[in-house]
Chains A and B, each alone.
Chain A
Amino acid sequence: MRGPWHQFGDRSQRFALELLQSGAGVGVVISPRDLSWDNAKDYSQQYHGLNAQVLIDQQFYIPDFSNPRMESYPISHHRISISQLCQIPDAKLRDLSNQLRIINSELSTEGLIAPAVVYEAGRQDIFQLNERLFSASKLVGDDLGIPTFASVMLGQSITTSDHTIDVALSQITSLQSDGWYLGFQFEDERIPSSIDSVSRFCQVSLTLACTGNPVLHAYAGPLALLSFGAGVTGVCIGHFQNLWKFSPRRWQVRTSQQGGGGDAPPRFFSTNLWGTIIYPDELVQLPLSLINRIITPSPFSSSVTPSATVPWSRWEANKHLVYSICSTIDSITSSNDPRANANSAIQILDNAISLHDDIKNHEVYLADNTDAYQANWREALINLLSNNSSDYDYLDLIS
């Protein structure tokens, strides 16, 4: 399970297929919110045909959220409110187990991601509920002979302090899981940038890794660069920005239409920037020497040229982004040593910081605050290596 996974969002099934065909990614994480049950069955066969692994994230984070696609799954009648779910009798829990068995058997998943509600500080009822959901899932996973991953979706009431994290993790890690499917709610920004938050995320990952079980970083996005340095074994990457960090809002009923990208030009993800630049508008403002450093090609960027003024296809830009992240992750994970993985990421961030500085020296200021996080991520990793040295030693001891 080591490596990059495709985290499904809206219209991801063919996208993932194409990426897998081009050699990017080791598997897919199917999202019932975005793919109907019939399509999930159909596409999972195609993914297996490409030797990709398949997982399904049941997405009980906001358990009474549903939509027509989710309703097509046999487990849908268990999508009820937290308070109702907390009262679920054993017979219904057995039925939920049976539905999990059907779904995971039909999709031939390589692991079972246990359904769980978003953890919130001080909510012992949620901890107990998730424990019951996990136990019901673990029976199925064991029966099917596949590992059961506990979903560890940490809400912001937990992720904002070390103390609440310690308390939550002490309880969560009592689950007899075979792996962890980790989501971490950050502040509401495009890409997490705060040193404190990113450091806390890294510490959570490392703590979970020290249990000796694999850690799958869900909704990782570009932050996946840091994950392996924090002991993670798999990262889940989607092309939409709302898949770049875990946010329960994805499973809340929208009261108004949210603005999309409109007709804005696509962004080019540069592995050297470890960020995006608007193509072609921002790129053409720079000298060729910088453009050549910024353009990091992929099989999906053949139409990108230093002098082009023709807009690029948004979907091609998305494929390029995911491909670029996957190939960097592949390169980082050629070593199994988390310390080495962290140092590789630091080196990439060093280059990105230097390239951003060079762009600023040409009086070009990129949109989206795309240089807001690299230096902080770098510092977070350096601090992690220094402050959590014994965790790395321990990982080495148990490996």
Chain B
Amino acid sequence: MPYVIPISDAELLFPDYTFITALTPGEQKAAFHVKDADGRDLCLKIIAPDFSIDRLEREIIALQSLSHPNVVNLIEYTFSTKRGQPRHYIIEEFIEGTDLSDYLIAGQSLSEDRTLSIFIPLVEGLSALGRSRIVHRDLKPSNIRIRSDETPVIIDFGLARLLNLPDLTATAEGAAIGTPKYFAPEQFAGTKHDIDHRTDLFALGILLYMALVGNHPFFQTGMSYQDLHDAVCNSQDHLSVDEYIRLSPQWKLLIGRLLEKHRSRRPSSASQVAQILQKIRGDS
């Protein structure tokens, strides 16, 4: 559920910042483009009062352990009791530009060169997550910002899971969070020990398929949750689409592996995917 705060209220709460505009609110987080006293462009996120503090801490730990040009940079996390109310907020770098949704338009595919130029750095960002044992769990076009120079940046770690720490949820719900349209089969199954870095690689496979084929491999307008579940967990129809068949054997091999139902058959890491993309690009 998006958490919305009117910009005028936010300005009263944070007078040290100049508010430029409200950004698309996230899961229980209101977001604003602000400038600090030094004129730096920043993203201020105000956390909903009922948001899980444990989960917030995970997000903070996840972001603090990372420093990578393709992963959003956390600048500050603050807990305060302004105006008598407890408030948690985080300041991230503001990423000027757009997001991947603007590139992945239904019925239109990207050129191979453009796909490589966006996805190689994106996968390098994912590799950085993998090295820190972080699973994003909600990789989707709107969570990938694209700078004006077309550099992708992974944002919103609100659902991230740190594999080195015990999971927060003991129930099936623990796995089945995120955005179903980009779920891997194991997210539908809802068993938390089945979630690992290859869950993000499945979502990456969906994004890569959308970029090169021009359509989502599983989702069609009007589909119910159950239909989507069946398609993701059982269907191989996406491999018979003409636009997919026309791709080069290397692309098909990579996308086919990323979209494998069993994690053991997916690429073992984002680094391996990066290596393959570089090979496709013709790097030595």
Interface of A is mostly: helix
Report whether B194 and A398 are in contact in the complex, using a CB–CB cutoff of 8 Å. Answer: no
In the assembled complex, the CB of B30 is this many whole angstroms from the nearest CB of chain A, namely 35
Task: Kindly list chain A residues whose C-beta atoms are within 8 Å of the C-beta of B249.
Answer: 393
Taking a contact as CB atoms under 8 Å apart, the answer to whether A127 and B193 are in contact is yes
Q: Contact between B262 and A169 (Cβ–Cβ < 8 Å)? A: yes
Interface contact B257-A394, CB-CB below 8 Å = yes
**Residue of A127, A170, A173, A210 most packed against chain B (CB within 10 A):** A170
Closest chain A residue to B271 by CB distance? Answer: A212
The answer to whether B193 touches A213, judged by C-beta atoms less than 8 angstroms apart, is no
| Per-position binary interface string of chain B over residues 228-271, scored 1 when its CB falls under 8 Å from any chain A CB and 0 otherwise | 00000000000000000000011001101100001111011000
In the complex, what distance in Å separates the CA atom of A124 from the CA atom of B249? 38
Q: Establish whether residues B250 and A170, one from each chain, have CB atoms under 8 Å apart when the complex forms.
A: no
A387 to B: closest C-beta gap in Å: 13
- Interchain CB contact under 8 A, A397 and B194: no
**Closest residue on chain B to residue A131 by CB atoms:** B193
Which residues of the other chain, A, contact B198 by a CB distance below 8 angstroms?
174
* Nearest CB of chain A from residue B126's CB, rounded to whole Å: 15
Per the CB 8 Å criterion, the residue count for chain A at the interface is: 21
The answer on a CB contact under 8 Å between A210 and B193 is: no
Instruction: Collect the chain A residues with CB atoms within 8 Å of residue B262's CB.
Output: 166, 169-170
Contact indicator B256/A390 (Cβ below 8 Å): yes
- The residue among A211, A390, A398 with the most chain B CB atoms within 10 A of its own CB is A398
Residues of B within 8 A of A398 (CB): 267, 272, 275-276
* B interface footprint on A198-234 (CB within 8 Å = 1, 0 otherwise): 0000000001001111000000000000000000000
User: Is B99 part of the contact surface with A, judged by Cβ < 8 Å?
Assistant: no
Q: Is the CB of A169 within 8 A of B264?
A: yes
- Complex Cα spacing A115 to B46, Å: 47
B200 at interface, CB cutoff 8 A: no
Docked Cα-Cα span, A210 to B253, in Å, equals: 12
Write the chain B residue with the least CB distance to A213: B268
B235 to chain A, nearest CB (A): 17
Chain B residues with Cβ under 8 A from A127's Cβ? Answer: 193
A22 touches B (CB below 8 Å): no
Q: How far is the CB of B108 from chain A (nearest CB, A)?
A: 27
Q: Which A residues are in CB contact (< 8 Å) with B279?
A: 397
B58 to chain A, nearest CB (A): 19
A166–B266 Cα distance when bound, in Å, is 12
CA distance A398 to B274 in the complex (A): 10
Output the least CB separation between A216 and chain B (Å): 17
Q: Tell me which residues from 166 to 195 in chain A have a Cβ below 8 Å from any Cβ of chain B.
A: 166, 169-174, 176
Given contacts A166-B264, A173-B264, A210-B265, contact A397 B193 (CB under 8 A): no
Asked if B138 is at the interface of the complex by the 8 Å CB criterion, the answer is no
Known contacts A211-B268, A394-B257, A398-B272; is-contact A170 B263 (Cβ 8 Å): yes
Cβ of B59 < 8 Å from any Cβ of A?
A: no
In the complex the two chains form, what is the Cα distance from A212 to B267 in whole Å?
A: 9
Per-residue interface assignment for chain A, residues 115 to 146, with 1 indicating a CB less than 8 Å from any chain B CB and 0 otherwise: 00000000010011000000000000000000
Please determine whether B253 and A393 come into contact, CB atoms closer than 8 angstroms.
Answer: yes
- Cβ A390 vs Cβ B253 within 8 A: yes
Residue of A nearest to B131 (CB): A176
User: Are B193's CB and A212's CB within 8 A?
Assistant: no
Tell whether A170 pairs with B275 under 8 Å between CB atoms, given A124-B193, A393-B249.
no
**Cβ–Cβ < 8 Å partners of A166 in chain B:** 262, 264
Residues of B within 8 A of A174 (CB): 196-198, 263
Bound CA–CA A397/B250 (angstroms): 8
Chain A residue, CB-CB nearest to B133: A176
Q: How far is the CB of A97 from chain B (nearest CB, A)?
A: 16
Q: For B267, what are the chain A residues with a Cβ–Cβ distance below 8 Å?
A: 398
**Would B253 and A394 count as touching, CB distance under 8 A?**
yes
Which residue of chain A lies nearest to B263 when distances are taken between CB atoms in the complex? A170
Distance in Å from the Cβ of A162 to the closest Cβ of chain B? 10
A207 to chain B, nearest CB (A): 5
Chain A: minimal CB distance from B276 (Å): 6
- The residue in chain A whose Cβ has the minimal distance to the Cβ of B191 is A124
Interface residue ranges of B164-223 to A (CB < 8 Å): 186, 193-194, 196-198
Contacts of A394 in B (CB 8 A): 253, 257
Q: Which residues on B sit within 8 Å (CB–CB) of A213?
A: 268
Task: For A207, list chain B residues within 8 Å (CB).
Answer: 264-265
Q: Give A171 to B263 CA distance when docked, in angstroms.
A: 8
Residues 44-76 of chain A, each 1 if its beta carbon lies under 8 Å from chain B, else 0 = 000000000000000000000000000000000
CB-based contact A170/B264 at 8 Å: yes
A253 CB, min distance to chain B CBs, angstroms: 33
Q: Assess A173 versus B276: contact at CB under 8 Å? Given A397-B250, A397-B253.
A: no
- With most chain A CB atoms within 10 A of its CB, the pick from B256, B257, B264, B275 is B264
Contact B194 A170 (CB under 8 A): yes
Q: How far is the CA of A171 from the CA of B254 in the complex (A)?
A: 21
Cβ–Cβ contact B276 & A397, under 8 A: yes
A166-B262, A212-B268, A397-B254 given; 20 more Cβ-contact pairs under 8 Å: A124-B193, A127-B193, A128-B193, A169-B264, A170-B186, A170-B194, A170-B262, A171-B193, A173-B263, A173-B268, A174-B196, A174-B198, A174-B263, A207-B264, A207-B265, A210-B268, A393-B249, A393-B253, A394-B257, A397-B276
Query: Which residues of chain A have a CB within 8 Å of any CB of chain B?
Result: 124, 127-128, 166, 169-174, 176, 207, 210-213, 390, 393-394, 397-398
* Chain B contacts to A: CB under 8 angstroms: 133, 186, 193-194, 196-198, 249-250, 253-254, 256-257, 262-265, 267-268, 272, 275-276, 279
